[in-house]
């Protein structure tokens, strides 16, 4: 089975072709980051317009690279939500129409389902069931994954997502948007122990999290002072450490609670090397194994959507002719035919 996957939920136009026997055949991506950088964040209207410009050429390019004419495509998968509604509508309308024109099934995918299945693109792939830590720019959730379409949210951030906190703190440090990866790079030369940042909600039981206070802690540390590069690196280090230790402790608790032997980390912040290293410690201590996609499949991409589409079509899931995009959509509400 060969599926084309289309992702346009935010500021990346991404297309990929996945084959159930051969794996990923091609994946192409256009990032809009430089376009949005001048505004310090994603401008939804500009994002939608750029998806319209990029999508068709990207689909043609991907089909060329995968040596896959349309008669070899068995289905069209696309991100149906959650995300920016205008951006989503470009991908949904395009993908649904493409499926209609080609006479193939269309498969709507929950963006976060794409993220949490992304480790299945790797040779070292987890089997179901597993515990997943989803850490992206828009979401931070611990998910009990029983199988395809069987997702139970165990805990989540009550305010900012981890990636959002990284981006906001990066902005305070004068780094360009989105600053998560650059903050992580800056933190490498930071000295431990210079600033004491809180570990939000670790004093409470449960698996919910909160990250907005860390941005405030960074603001307080930076306020009213002329900072040199070492000061900024020290703040970055303290901030990253606080986020990572909080996520690691919540994962430790969730592994104990669920008894899972597999821990998956996915989403943009999952590319963070310090987080991966700490989660590897946590998993080892719990007798579990850690799985993660390579960095390019942690952030938004079409490969995860094509893969999720392939698994869903194999399981008999496809959508009708309605063109439905959902800006808000709980992962826990996704069923196998959802
Ligand atoms: O999953 P993603 O591409 O988009 C969403 O669905 O939100 O995640 C993007 C987020 C951004 O907040 C970005 O700053 C963050 O992931 N990010 C990182 C790193 N690489 C990307 N955060 C921390 N460390 C990194 N190495
Ligand atoms: Zn994402």
Please report, for the domain that includes residue 46, its CATH number: 3.30.420.40
Number of folded domains that form the chain: 2
92, 230: one domain: no
Residues with CB under 6 A from ligand 1: 10, 136-138, 163, 166-167, 178, 180-181, 184, 267-269, 271-272, 299-300
Answer yes or no: do 180 and 265 share one domain.
Answer: yes
- What is the domain extent for residue 237? 128-292
* Dist. CA 271 → ligand 1 center (Å): 7
Tell me which ligand sits closest to the C-alpha of residue 168: 1
Q: Do 183 and 94 share a structural domain?
A: no
- Res 338: pLDDT: 54
Question: Are residues 141 and 280 both part of a single domain?
Answer: yes
Same structural domain for residues 150 and 208? Answer: yes
Domain co-membership, 153 together with 270: yes
Give a three-class secondary structure readout of the chain.
Answer: CEEEEEECCCCEEEEEEEECCCEEEEEEEEECHHHHHCCCCCCHHHHHHHHHHHHHHHHHHHHHHCCCCHHHCCEEEEEEECCCHHHHHHHHHHHHHHHHHHCCCEEEEEHHHHHHHHHHHCCCCCCCCEEEEEECCCCEEEEEEEECCEEEEEEEECCCCHHHHHHHHHHHCCCCCCCHHHHHHHHCCCCCCCCCCCCCCCCCCCCCECCHHHHHHHHHHHCCCCCCHHHHHHHHHHHHHHHHHHHHHHHHHHHHHHCCCEEEEECHHHHCHHHHHHHHHHHHHCCCEEECCCHHHHCCCCHHHHHHHHHHHHCCCCECCCCCCCCCCCHHHCCCCC
313 lies in the same domain as 224: no
User: Is 122 inside a domain boundary?
Assistant: no
Mutate to test the pocket of ligand 1, among 268, 274, 305 (most ligand atoms within 8 A of CB): 268
Q: Give residue 267 CA to ligand 2 midpoint distance, Å.
A: 6
In a domain, 219, yes or no: yes
pLDDT at residue 4, as a whole number? 99
> 209 and 260: one domain?
yes
Tell me, yes or no, whether 69 lies in a domain: yes
Distance from residue 10's CA to the centre of ligand 1 (Å)? 12
Q: How far is the CA of 231 from the centre of ligand 2 (A)?
A: 31
Q: Is residue 338 part of a domain?
A: no
Please check whether residue 190 lies inside any domain of the structure. Answer: yes
Per-residue pLDDT of the chain in tens (338 residues, 90 and over written 9): 999 999 999 999 999 999 999 999 999 999 999 999 999 899 999 999 999 999 999 999 999 999 999 999 999 999 999 999 999 999 999 999 999 999 999 999 999 999 999 999 999 999 999 999 999 999 999 999 999 999 999 999 999 999 999 999 999 999 999 999 999 999 999 999 999 999 999 998 999 999 999 999 999 998 888 889 999 999 999 999 999 999 999 999 999 999 999 999 999 999 999 999 999 999 999 999 999 999 999 999 999 999 999 999 999 998 888 889 999 999 999 988 75
Inside any domain, residue 267: yes
**Does residue 312 sit within a domain?**
yes
Structure tokens at 321: 């002719």
Q: Are 85 and 26 contained in the same domain?
A: yes
Both 73 and 171 in one domain: the answer is no
Distance 267 CA to ligand 1 centre (A): 7
Domain match, 74 and 109 both? yes
- Ligand 1, atom 8, lies closest to the CA of 268
Residue 225: its pLDDT value, please?
A: 80
**32 plus 100 within the same structural domain:** yes
């Amino acid at each position: 089975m060969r599926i084309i996957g289309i992702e346009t939920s935010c500021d990346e136009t991404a297309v990929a072709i996945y084959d159930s026997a051969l794996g990923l055949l091609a994946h192409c991506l256009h990032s809009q980051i430089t376009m949005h950088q001048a505004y310090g964040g994603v401008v939804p209207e500009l994002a939608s317009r750029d998806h319209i410009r990029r999508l068709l050429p990207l689909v043609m390019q991907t089909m060329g690279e995968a040596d896959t004419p349309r008669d070899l495509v068995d289905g069209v998968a696309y991100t149906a939500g959650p995300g920016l509604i205008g951006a989503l509508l470009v991908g949904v309308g395009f993908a649904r129409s493409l499926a209609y024109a080609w006479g193939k099934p269309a498969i709507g995918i929950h963006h976060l389902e794409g993220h949490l299945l992304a480790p299945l693109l790797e040779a070292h792939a987890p089997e179901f069931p597993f515990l997943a830590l989803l850490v992206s720019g828009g979401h931070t959730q611990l998910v009990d994954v029983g199988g395809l379409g069987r997702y139970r949210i165990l805990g989540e951030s009550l305010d900012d997502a981890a990636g959002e906190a990284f981006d906001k703190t990066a902005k305070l440090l004068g780094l360009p948007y989105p600053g998560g990866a650059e903050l992580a790079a800056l933190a490498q030369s930071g000295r431990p122990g210079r600033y004491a940042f809180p570990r939000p909600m670790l004093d409470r039981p449960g698996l919910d999290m909160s990250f907005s206070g860390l941005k405030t802690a960074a603001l307080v540390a930076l306020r009213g002072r002329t900072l040199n590069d070492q000061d900024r690196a020290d703040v970055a280090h303290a901030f990253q450490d606080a986020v990572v230790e909080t996520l690691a402790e919540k994962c430790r608790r969730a592994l104990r609670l669920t008894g899972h032997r597999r821990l998956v980390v996915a989403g943009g912040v999952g590319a963070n090397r310090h987080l991966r290293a700490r989660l590897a410690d946590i998993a080892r201590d719990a007798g579990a194994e850690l799985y993660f996609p390579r960095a390019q499949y942690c952030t938004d991409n079409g490969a995860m959507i094509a893969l999720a589409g392939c698994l869903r079509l194999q399981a008999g899931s496809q959508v009708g002719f309605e063109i439905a995009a959902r800006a808000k959509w709980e992962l826990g509400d996704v069923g196998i035919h959802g």
